[in-house]
Amino acid sequence: MFGKRLGILGIVRDLKMRKILVDGKEFEFDFKKNENEIVISLNGKIFNFKNKGKLENTIILDVDGKNYTGQLSKFENGDNQIITNGKEFIISVPKSKKSGSDTQGGLISPMPGKIYKQLVNVGQQVKKGETLLILEAMKMEHAIKSPVDGTVKKVFFKVGDMVSGGVNLIEVE
Amino acid sequence: MKIKKILIANRAEIAIRVISTCKEMGIKTVTIYSEADKNLPHVFLSDESYCLGDGTIAETYLNKEKILKIAKDSKSDAIHPGYGFLSENTSFSKAASDMGIIFIGPRPDSIELMGDKIGSKKFVETLGIPMIPGYHGDNQDKEFLKKKAVEIGFPVLIKASAGGGGKGMRIVHNESEFIENLDGAKSEALKSFGDDKVLIEKYLMNPRHIEVQMMSDNHGNHLHFFERECSIQRRYQKIVEETPSIALTAELQQKICEAAVTITKKMNYSGAGTMEFIFEDTKFYFLEMNTRLQVEHPISEMVTGADLVKLQILVACNEKINIKQSEIMQKGHAIEVRLYAEDPDNNFMPSIGKISHIGKTSLKNVRLDTGFTVGNDVTVNYDPMLAKLIVWAETRDEAINKMICSLDEITYSGLKNNRDYLKRILAHQSFKKGDTFTSFVKIHEESLRPLLKTDEDIALSLAVFSLLEHQKSSSKAEGKNQNTYSVWQEIGNFRNC
């Protein structure tokens, strides 16, 4: 078995790298934990953190005696907001490319707002340039138009729903 | 005391601010709220609260008839309008007075005089107060205005007389572009304010925005509570304010404050107000007057020890302010930052979300004025301000450091906000030096971008993520919360050592 001796954690199998997005950049990392410690492997380096425990929803980690507080919150669009000693990171899992979803036909909200009008249903035939829904944001109406001739595949929200910026509103294939 | 119950015709942060002083004075409070705001703390912190129903701002917080009816039915003696909304609406203040309800604010004639940019300039000019070179007369003939612009000297600023918030404003750099910009400004002014009258001013390239806090009673006492510098702005929206202004010598400070009092004295002002000036190269010029209490009033309170809302209420009760100008002293330095629900690193895009954590300040002389509590949803329906964070310290440097520390403690987690951007502004060399001009955020745009994070930083964030997300996943496995989506389903199970 190949492996790396990781201090008190002993010999382990090859590390399996997971893909993760931090502040929009993709990284590969892996981690190992026990009750007192967590080890992160990132960019070919190994980082050891002692786990001092949890206070309410804040975790306390220790590096050579220095305290680091950590909190996790969720954004509306599902991204994870991590704050450590006041520094903020947005962590999310990279989405796998499914045919037709993020490429052609997946329409993203340009900014946060409210669904004001839903003009089409699933299964409906639409033409390129046809208005599919109207988003009310920043005191203005934004028409979300179909980029292609096709069929409405998925409708994610209904009239009155509040949406974040950058979320999928509707899919046309 | 004449006033025993006050209806606060506003929401969120300023409503809570007024409640706080009323509680100290033993005055009962009534708040109003829209259906959308029903979970906000200003609904629960007052003695009574009434729902304005489901609707737009016009149908709720700007609904004069509804609000006056609630004031009458609740037997409120007075209405505090806060800032924005109906605070400078003379038909509202007159209607309240007609009903025998005291409007906590200046008289309608003062609001009308200062609400008109052209009219207010004409008035102030007669007092010998320095004005920005310009033309603010009635002749609106295009060729005449162009001639005036040439006389003033480019660059000039074309401003809508009835305007505000940067609408109907155009900077013109030379004569050849004048007419097209004039047309643009006029059409925008007509659309936004229903009035296309404009004035022309010399455009100052690198000014500071300095304003003076005014307070007058109905017995001839016209006081000032010193100045505030509000030069850190973006699109005419203030982000950072401080007092005292590092640009003013003691002599200049006295000159500006006395000029401001000359104006309130002449108009026999009553109540709280702010005199705004524009300042460049040791010269100051009258800009406009805001006839209301302003968002950034807390910094003036921190350095003088005053409670400006209390003084407003006393004045409204027709009482005399028993303080002499010579007794008002400024001590130390105060800074305020405004936390907004927006993403400065993505074109200041507004953000929405549920506040999952706010935090607590641990340092002395730190004040957090906020309209939200944990669990509240922030939407795009209203102003995006989450909170005001205010610090006081003996020196400016100490205040800056205290603010940076406090910004690490107050997070407003759960949605994107400008917290880190504010830290970058405060930590910027130019801010530390006091080189704060209204062009600050634009000029330093590049150096205000987020710093690159080290591998150590990123590894730490991943450690926190792995531990806290893992906790959610393991409690799911034990059947504790069936609805929690866990990221581990997508990226693979964790392994114990």
Average pLDDT of the segment spanning B240-261 = 97
What is the model's pLDDT at position B183? 93
Residues of A within 8 A of B463 (CB-CB) are 31, 38, 40, 47, 49, 61, 70
φ, ψ dihedrals at B210, nearest 5°: -125, 130
Yes or no: say if B390 and B367 are a contact pair by the CB < 8 Å rule: yes
A111 vs B483, more confident: A111
Output the pTM of the full model: 0.85
Out of B83-92, B434-443, B487-496, which region has the weakest mean confidence (pLDDT)?
B487-496
**A103-149 residue pLDDT tens:** 445 688 878 888 888 888 888 888 888 888 888 876 667 888 888 88
Interface contact A67, partner B, CB < 8 A: no
Provide the 3-class DSSP secondary structure of residue B376: coil
B71 exposure class (CB count in 10 Å sphere: 0-12, 13-18, 19+): buried
| Whole-number Å distance between alpha carbons of B63 and B53 | 11
CA nearest A41 in B: which residue?
A: B459
| Whole-number Å distance between alpha carbons of A37 and B69 | 63
Interface contact B422, partner A, CB < 8 A: no
A49 - beta bridge partners? Answer: A38
| Whole-number Å distance between alpha carbons of B456 and B291 | 52
Share of chain A above pLDDT 90, in %: 36
Give the containing element (helix H, strand E) for B315.
helix B308-316
What is the model's pLDDT at position A138? 65
Q: Residue B463's pLDDT band (boundaries 50, 70, 90)? A: very high
What is the model's pLDDT at position B227? 98
CB contact under 8 A, A75 and B350: no
Interface of A with B in 35-54 (CB under 8 A): 38, 40, 42-43, 45, 47, 49, 51
Residues of A within 8 A of B413 (CB-CB) are 71, 73, 81, 83
| Mean pLDDT across chain A | 82
Provide the 3-class DSSP secondary structure of residue B247: coil
Average pLDDT of the segment spanning B369-385 = 95
CA nearest B351 in A: which residue?
A: A112
A134 - beta bridge partners? Answer: A117, A143
What is the model's pLDDT at position B164? 66
What is the model's pLDDT at position A30? 93
How many other β-carbons are positioned within 10 Å of the β-carbon of residue B362? 9
Interface contact B415, partner A, CB < 8 A: yes
Query: Is the pLDDT reported for residue A64 higher than 60?
Result: yes
Radius of gyration of chain B (CA): 25
CB contact under 8 A, A164 and B460: no
A20 exposure class (CB count in 10 Å sphere: 0-12, 13-18, 19+): buried
Residues of A within 8 A of B486 (CB-CB) are none
Yes or no: say if B368 and B419 are a contact pair by the CB < 8 Å rule: no
Interface contact B384, partner A, CB < 8 A: no
CA dist B41 → A166, B31, B38, B192, B307 (Å): 30, 10, 8, 33, 22
What is the model's pLDDT at position B389? 98
What does the angle CA B78 – CA B83 – CA B88 come to, to the nearest 5 degrees? 75
A146 vs B28, more confident: B28
**B118-171 residue pLDDT tens:** 889 999 999 999 999 899 888 999 999 999 999 999 999 999 887 766 778 899
A127, two tokens:
């033409």
Interface contact B495, partner A, CB < 8 A: yes
| Whole-number Å distance between alpha carbons of A125 and A97 | 24
How many other β-carbons are positioned within 10 Å of the β-carbon of residue B56? 13
How many other β-carbons are positioned within 10 Å of the β-carbon of residue B268? 14
Sheet with B283-290: strands ordered across:
B283-290, B271-280, B208-216, B222-234, B237-243, B333-340, B385-393, B366-370
Query: Is the pLDDT reported for residue B475 higher than 70?
Result: no
Residues of A within 8 A of B352 (CB-CB) are 76, 112, 162, 164
Smallest CA–CA distance, residue B459 to chain A, in Å, is 6
Interface contact A66, partner B, CB < 8 A: no
> Which one of B11, B292, B419, B424 is the catalytic residue?
B292
Alpha helices in B153-282 (DSSP H): 178-193, 250-266
What is the model's pLDDT at position A164? 80
Yes or no: say if A136 and A130 are a contact pair by the CB < 8 Å rule: no
Residues of B within 8 A of A84 (CB-CB) are 457, 460-461, 464
Query: Is the pLDDT reported for residue A38 higher than 50?
Result: yes
| Whole-number Å distance between alpha carbons of B128 and B266 | 12
What is the model's pLDDT at position B321? 97
DSSP B88-151: T-HHHHHHHHHTT-EESS--HHHHHHHHSHHHHHHHHHTTT--B-SEE-SS---HHHHHHHHHH
B219, two tokens:
């017995």
CB contact under 8 A, A72 and B468: yes
Give the containing element (helix H, strand E) for A143.
strand A140-145
Query: Is the pLDDT reported for residue B476 higher than 60?
Result: no
CB contact under 8 A, B492 and A18: yes
What is the model's pLDDT at position B495? 45
What is the model's pLDDT at position B117? 83
Smallest CA–CA distance, residue A150 to chain B, in Å, is 31
What is the model's pLDDT at position A128? 85
CB contact under 8 A, A162 and B470: no
Query: Is the pLDDT reported for residue B281 higher than 70?
Result: yes
Chain A interface, mutation test: which of B235, B346, B352, most A Cβ atoms within 10 Å? B352
Chain B interface, mutation test: which of A18, A39, A66, A163, most B Cβ atoms within 10 Å? A18
Interface contact B449, partner A, CB < 8 A: no
CA dist B38 → A135, B86, B260 (Å): 24, 20, 40
b/e A46-64 (16+ beta carbons within 10 angstroms → b): ebbbebeeeeeebbebbee
How high is the ipTM of this complex?
A: 0.81
Nearest to A112 among B356, B380, B409 (CB): B380
CB contact under 8 A, A72 and B469: yes
CA nearest A60 in B: which residue?
A: B464
Residues of B within 8 A of A10 (CB-CB) are 497
**B315-329 residue pLDDT tens:** 999 999 999 999 999
B460, two tokens:
């730490």
DSSP A73-116: EE-TTS-EEEEETTEEEEEEPPPP--TTTSSTTEEE-SSSEEEE
Query: Is the pLDDT reported for residue A86 higher than 90?
Result: yes
Yes or no: say if B345 and B421 are a contact pair by the CB < 8 Å rule: yes
Query: Is the pLDDT reported for residue A9 higher than 70?
Result: no
C-beta contacts of B247-256 below 8 A and 24+ residues apart: B247/B208, B247/B210, B247/B279, B247/B434, B248/B210, B248/B279, B252/B282, B252/B284, B253/B226, B253/B227, B255/B284, B256/B210, B256/B212, B256/B227, B256/B284
Yes or no: say if B378 and B436 are a contact pair by the CB < 8 Å rule: no
Interface contact A91, partner B, CB < 8 A: yes
φ, ψ dihedrals at B450, nearest 5°: -60, 145
Nearest to A137 among B380, B458, B469 (CB): B380
Smallest CA–CA distance, residue B386 to chain A, in Å, is 16
Chain B interface, mutation test: which of A35, A39, A47, most B Cβ atoms within 10 Å? A47
Residues of A within 8 A of B353 (CB-CB) are 75-76, 164
Q: Residue B359's pLDDT band (boundaries 50, 70, 90)? A: very high
CA dist B419 → A59, B14, B16, B260, B358 (Å): 21, 20, 22, 34, 12
Yes or no: say if A172 and A148 are a contact pair by the CB < 8 Å rule: yes
Q: Sign of dihedral through CA atoms B189, B193, B199, B205?
A: negative
DSSP B193-227: HS---EEEEEPPSS-EEEEEEEEE-TTS-EEEEEE
Smallest CA–CA distance, residue B192 to chain A, in Å, is 13
| Whole-number Å distance between alpha carbons of B472 and A73 | 12
- Residue B228 appears among annotated catalytic residues: no
Nearest to A31 among B349, B351, B466 (CB): B466
Interface contact B167, partner A, CB < 8 A: no
Nearest alpha-carbon partner for B245 in B268, B227, B225: B227
How many other β-carbons are positioned within 10 Å of the β-carbon of residue B142? 12
